[in-house]
Chain A
Amino acid sequence: MKNKILLAIAWAWVTIPLGWGVYQSLQKSMPLFFDR
């Protein structure tokens, strides 16, 4: 059980900032699809 909690924390630790970074990049790339 302890191992599973640690696994969840460890993966959340890296996926949350990575997800935020991808979201920021997607936002930055929006003009590519919607601007003329």
Chain B
Amino acid sequence: MTFLSREATIARPGFSRWLVPPAAISVHICIGEVYGFSVFNVPLTQAGAGWTIPQVGWVYSIALVMLGMSAAVFGKWVDRGGPRKTMVVSCVCFCGGLLISALGVKLKSLWMVYLGYGFLGGIGLGLGYISPVSTLIKWFPDRPGMATGMAIMGFGGGALIGAPLGVRLMDQFKSTTSVGVAEAFLVMSILYAISMLFGASLVRVPPEDWKPDGWEPGPHGQPMMTNARIGVDRAWKTPQFWCLWMVLCMNVSAGIGILGQASKMCSDMFGVSPAVGGGFAGLLSIFNMGGRFFWSSISDHTGRKTVYSIYFLFGAILYCAVPWTQSTQNKTLFVVVTAIIITMYGGGFATIPAYLRDLFGTYQIGAIHGRLITAWSVAAIVGPSLVNYISTAKIEAGVPHAEAYNSTMYLMAGLLVIGLVANLLVQPVDAKYRITESPKDQEK
């Protein structure tokens, strides 16, 4: 298996580092399909097995929980094994999970779908998500935000591709005896395997001590950046790690508050048709993707702490402005405000790896990022629960549908203020956490 080893992926002289971002995106546009999984919910309930929407909804939840858990548990192995091996294992898990789910739909076994797409596919998501991060940061020490932003933008774009692809495949394979879900899963697993393996074959790690022509490491213009090596076992004992955990958790919780109910919120607040509400959700997906690249690239110039302060401060103001756009019934302003909010939500996801690199260095950055992703799993459960609980309670208390979201928006602004405080508390990591021995000594 030498082809998969880290040593086999060391780039030869003349290799262009600009091949690494498409390698990473090839993987991320596949695993990002999980964001579009909801297109399968209704067809799965019509598959003839008597499954309900809440039962089917667990597939997505299990996948997201496994994403966080696998990234946290296997992060060290990812850093040790290298990007190619991780991408191939991620491909086997994610595409294998789709295949098992296809079989589960055919055999009308919901447990097989849970096991396939949820459990195994979720592990593939976690491994695939963190697999290119440390490699990209090492290839682009001069622009780590932009580099990781490109990969994570691919994850956001995965939903834009996966959802319409799934719908088209189901339409293609629909018959009197099948809703086409199993066949769609089968074809998608093949297409995604081709793309992920293409990415795995393309990826390379830089030789030891490689740096871009004309670029010299440190002293950095930004005091937060370090060239020190801090391992994952020490990193997660630092207050900085938990500040960033809170930063990510608050950013994601608040963003999901809008993304998760965009269609219904637009319909309720402005009395528009479900088609218009769906159009609004589609538009937000594009801004979610674009924001990942835009803001993370900006962070290379402003510094990570500044850009997160902008997300939280400006974001909180914009959340508070949403109820005002509703009261004035200014739909255009509503779309503009929410679109900017969502760019910053995506930017928060994409800028985190570079923030971690600044604080902890590149040593075990993949593993540290993996542990931090547990904040996403928590937010994916906490965020929607908060929003649903509050809006339902308001409606039951007699508040008109159009105004039921106001409290939610103020709550989201409050979450962003907590995130802002956590971000402002981030300081350079104490020297006592730095590793002084060589990486080889560490492995002994």
Question: Residues on A close to B: CB < 8 A?
Answer: 3, 6-7, 10-11, 13-14, 17-18, 20-22, 24-33, 35
Among listed B91-99, B282-290, B301-309, B421-429, interface-contacting one:
B282-290
**Which B residues lie within 8 Å of A28 (CB)?**
278-279, 281-282
Contact check, B14 vs A25: say whether CB atoms are below 8 A apart.
Answer: no
Can you sample 27 A-B contacts with CB below 8 Å? A3-B15, A10-B26, A13-B22, A13-B198, A14-B26, A17-B161, A18-B25, A18-B157, A18-B160, A18-B161, A21-B157, A21-B160, A21-B164, A22-B157, A22-B289, A24-B161, A24-B282, A25-B283, A26-B286, A27-B282, A28-B279, A29-B280, A29-B283, A29-B286, A31-B278, A33-B279, A35-B272
Contact check, A20 vs B161: say whether CB atoms are below 8 A apart.
Answer: yes
Question: Residues on B close to A: CB < 8 A?
Answer: 14-16, 18-19, 22-23, 25-26, 29, 154, 157, 159-161, 163-164, 195, 198, 202, 272-273, 275-276, 278-283, 285-286, 289, 335
**Which B residues lie within 8 Å of A22 (CB)?**
157, 160, 286, 289
**Which A residues lie within 8 Å of B18 (CB)?**
7
Contact check, A26 vs B282: say whether CB atoms are below 8 A apart.
Answer: yes
Also in contact, A25 and B275, with CB within 8 A (given A10-B19, A10-B22): no
Top 7 nearest A-B pairs (CB, nearest first) are A21-B160, A28-B282, A32-B279, A10-B22, A21-B161, A29-B283, A29-B279
Name the contact of A32 in the complex, choosing from B14, B163, B276 (C-beta under 8 A). B276
Give Cα A21–Cα B30 distance, bound, in whole angstroms: 12
Report which residue of B157, B272, B285 has the largest number of chain A beta carbons within 10 angstroms of its beta carbon: B157
**Which B residues lie within 8 Å of A26 (CB)?**
282-283, 286
Contact check, B23 vs A35: say whether CB atoms are below 8 A apart.
Answer: no
Contact check, B154 vs A25: say whether CB atoms are below 8 A apart.
Answer: no
Q: Is the interface of A mostly helix, strand, loop or mixed?
A: helix
Give Cα A17–Cα B17 distance, bound, in whole angstroms: 22
Shortest Cβ gap from B31 to chain A (Å): 13
Contact check, A25 vs B276: say whether CB atoms are below 8 A apart.
Answer: no
**Which A residues lie within 8 Å of B282 (CB)?**
24-29
Shortest Cβ gap from A27 to chain B (Å): 8
Give Cα A32–Cα B160 distance, bound, in whole angstroms: 17
Contact check, A14 vs B283: say whether CB atoms are below 8 A apart.
Answer: no
**Which A residues lie within 8 Å of B289 (CB)?**
22
**Which B residues lie within 8 Å of A33 (CB)?**
279
Shortest Cβ gap from B144 to chain A (Å): 20
Give Cα A8–Cα B44 distance, bound, in whole angstroms: 39
**Which A residues lie within 8 Å of B29 (CB)?**
14, 17-18
**Which B residues lie within 8 Å of A10 (CB)?**
19, 22-23, 26, 202
Shortest Cβ gap from A6 to chain B (Å): 7
Give Cα A18–Cα B165 distance, bound, in whole angstroms: 12
Query: Can you name the residue of chain B whose Cβ is closest to the Cβ of A35?
Result: B276
Query: Can you name the residue of chain A whose Cβ is closest to the Cβ of B23?
Result: A10
Also in contact, A6 and B160, with CB within 8 A (given A26-B282, A31-B273): no
Give Cα A28–Cα B164 distance, bound, in whole angstroms: 10
**Which B residues lie within 8 Å of A25 (CB)?**
160, 282-283, 285-286
Give Cα A17–Cα B272 distance, bound, in whole angstroms: 31
Shortest Cβ gap from A22 to chain B (Å): 6
Give Cα A15–Cα B14 distance, bound, in whole angstroms: 24
**Which A residues lie within 8 Å of B157 (CB)?**
17-18, 21-22
